[in-house]
Amino acid sequence: MLTPRERRLGVAGGAIALAAVLAFMMLALLALLAFPSAPPGGTIVTAYTWQILQFTLLQAALSTALSVLLAVPVALALARRPNFPLRTWILRLMVLPMGLPVLVVALGLIAVWGRQGVANSLLMILGMDQPISIYGLGGILLAHVFFNLPLACRLAVAALDRLPGEYWKLAGSLGMGPLSVLRFLEWPAIARVLPGISSLVFMLCATSFTIVLVLGGGPAATTLEVAIYQSLRFDFDPPRAIALSLLQVAVTASVLCLLGLIGSTDPTGSSSSAPSRRYDGTSLAARLWDALVVLLSVFFLLLPLAAIVIEGLQADLGRLLTSDAFIEAATSSAIIAVASAVLALSASTLLIRGRLAAIDSRRPGVAAVAYRQLLGASSLLVLLVPPVVLGTGWFLLLRPLGEVARFAPILIVAINALMALPFVMRVLEPTWEAHHARTTRLVASLGLRGFRKFWYVDRPILVKPAALALSFAMALSLGDLGAIALFGSNDLVTLPWLLYSRLSSYRTADADGLALILGMICLALTVTGTFHQTDRSRRAAD
């Protein structure tokens, strides 16, 4: 049990973090609502706005369907083969797209599927005249499948791996065929998590910004977030930006409500037990099918990554690394990434401590339980307002104070920290709750308090998940283009903004080199934590 003072400090700290998060979001939304949303006699919802909304929902629905439908057979194959060669490495490979900046992956996809890419070059050899176009709806779907197929696959594999081993023993003793196993065992396990997976993927696709900005190819393939950015950055049409922002919030709110009704799914895709021994799928045809499905998925993921490396190595990396533009952008990116990661980690710590303190009693009241749930929901509420919408609201709020660029670094740090908050809490909270439950009585009996308790009891257990959360938050901030796209200028340039500017000015060699450098930096931050997490799960299973 916590002391009354520790309980009061925990509750107060959680309240401060919650108030800060809500205030930052609500001020942006109030600025949108208070600004004159249309000229006199004008209308907000135009035919063009309706077209953008339709395309946003269409591309998200198609991306979700393709990602999930293609992920299911891969997940079935990996779950059916717990001893598949390099299975652990394949699952690790499926985490890498989450750690790569979207802009970097877009360049890799262009290198493979673009006009001068590998796919079109092979088709030209076969006598076809460049039938594949990476730009437009097709390119957007391809990029979304690249990012979301691995996510959906890992979640489905985790659901299958959690099935008790007795199920497979019984299926083997009954001589159940592949269709029976799929009908009575595999499909029910996947069906339980499929709605949550689909809603999560739809949410990610509906709020996609960088992919559509780079691969959209024109007004016909524009989503709400890109249209908001264009309304402020190029047209400077605040009324239209406000209308689109409110539509975007309505879309994300609807999806979040649907997620709440459906139920959540484990976003890490990890299971607490080792994959059970399977007695099905022993025929040669089944083994060949599983190997083919897995190898095709690996090839689909590896080809753009290999293209990034090959194209990047052909650039003059020495000149890029020593150029003033790169040094300035790298310095800005590092400062913003560290500041946003520390801010996200600090807010998460206060929220988690508040949640633990709220119910740290023998009989927590209704108010304490409700407070705990509110603190937990705060990390999901940030998904309600995408970065571009937050940036739009704060742009309108700060505009009367003069040049908004003066506040750009602070805004970018705050927005990036908010976007990283759900991931940081998801990494920290399970370990912290388990540690608190395991050590509370011992700490109370020993009389450890304050710094001594932190140093001797909390630090050895929490330092690794905190470092993992910090590295993920830094990687997310380093690769983010959403906030800097609104506030970037000659005086504030980050690595993603420098990469995008080089790509926009058709300096593709420099863009490829910067993509390789940025990708390697982000992977260096995420791979260590990913390996630690996978190895920890494997040791626990053993």
Q: What is the pLDDT of residues 33-54, one digit of tens each?
A: 887 754 444 455 677 888 899 9
Statement: residue 542 has pLDDT above 50: no
CA angle 93, 109, 113 (to 5 degrees): 130
Q: What is the mean pLDDT of the chain?
A: 83
Name the residue with higher pLDDT: 422 or 364: 422
The DSSP line for 204-265 is HHHT--HHHHHH--SGGG--HHHHHHHHHHTS--HHHHHHHHHHHHHHHHHHHHHHHHH---
- How far is Cα 49 from Cα 68, in angstroms, rounded to an integer? 29
Type of residue found at 127: G
Statement: residue 124 has pLDDT above 90: no
Mean per-residue pLDDT, 488-495: 86
- How far is Cα 191 from Cα 33, in angstroms, rounded to an integer? 40
Q: What is the pLDDT of residues 391-407, one digit of tens each?
A: 889 988 988 887 888 88
- How far is Cα 358 from Cα 15, in angstroms, rounded to an integer? 11
Are 30 and 367 spatial neighbours (Cβ–Cβ below 8 Å)?
A: no
| Residue reference for tokens 């065992």 | 185
| Residue reference for tokens 């490495």 | 89
Q: How far lies 437's CA from each of 72, 359, 434, 440, 518, in Å?
A: 37, 12, 5, 6, 40
Beta bridge partners of residue 489, listed in sequence order: 492
Are 372 and 355 spatial neighbours (Cβ–Cβ below 8 Å)?
A: yes
Q: What is the pLDDT of residues 426-435, one digit of tens each?
A: 888 888 888 8
- How far is Cα 50 from Cα 290, in angstroms, rounded to an integer? 43
| Residue reference for tokens 């092979």 | 122
Contacts of 303 (CB under 8 A, 6+ apart): 112, 118
Mean per-residue pLDDT, 480-501: 87
Of the given ranges (67-76, 203-212, 447-456), which has the lowest mean pLDDT?
447-456
- How far is Cα 110 from Cα 497, in angstroms, rounded to an integer? 18
Q: What is the pLDDT of residues 62-98, one digit of tens each?
A: 999 999 999 999 999 998 888 777 888 888 888 888 7
Q: pTM for the whole thing?
A: 0.84
Contacts of 120 (CB under 8 A, 6+ apart): 113, 114, 130, 131, 132
Q: Residue 457 — very low, low, confident or very high, per pLDDT cuts 50/70/90?
A: confident
The candidate with the shortest Cα–Cα distance to 390, out of 18, 26, 16, is: 26
Question: What is the set of domains in the chain, with CATH numbers?
Answer: 1-33+314-542 (1.10.3720.10), 44-307 (1.10.3720.10)
As a whole number of Å, the end-to-end CA separation of the chain is: 33
Mean per-residue pLDDT, 111-115: 86
Statement: residue 270 has pLDDT above 60: no
Two tokens, residue 361? 């009693």
- How far is Cα 472 from Cα 300, in angstroms, rounded to an integer? 24
Rounded to the nearest 5°, which phi and psi values hold at 492?
-140, 100
- How far is Cα 274 from Cα 165, in angstroms, rounded to an integer? 10
Q: What is the pLDDT of residues 333-392, one digit of tens each?
A: 999 999 999 999 999 999 998 888 887 766 677 777 788 888 877 777 777 888 888 988
Beta bridge partners of residue 492, listed in sequence order: 489
How many C-beta neighbours within 10 Å does residue 414 have? 21
| Residue reference for tokens 């990913």 | 530
- How far is Cα 411 from Cα 431, in angstroms, rounded to an integer? 31
- How far is Cα 317 from Cα 514, in angstroms, rounded to an integer? 8
Classify each residue of 145-170 as buried b or exposed e, where b means 16 or more C-beta atoms within 10 Å of its C-beta.
Answer: bbbbbbbbbbbbbbbbbbbeeebbee
Rounded to the nearest 5°, which phi and psi values hold at 153?
-65, -45
Q: How far lies 362's CA from each of 225, 365, 373, in Å?
A: 47, 10, 18
Q: How many CA atoms lie within 13 A of 226 on its CB side?
A: 23
Type of residue found at 364: P
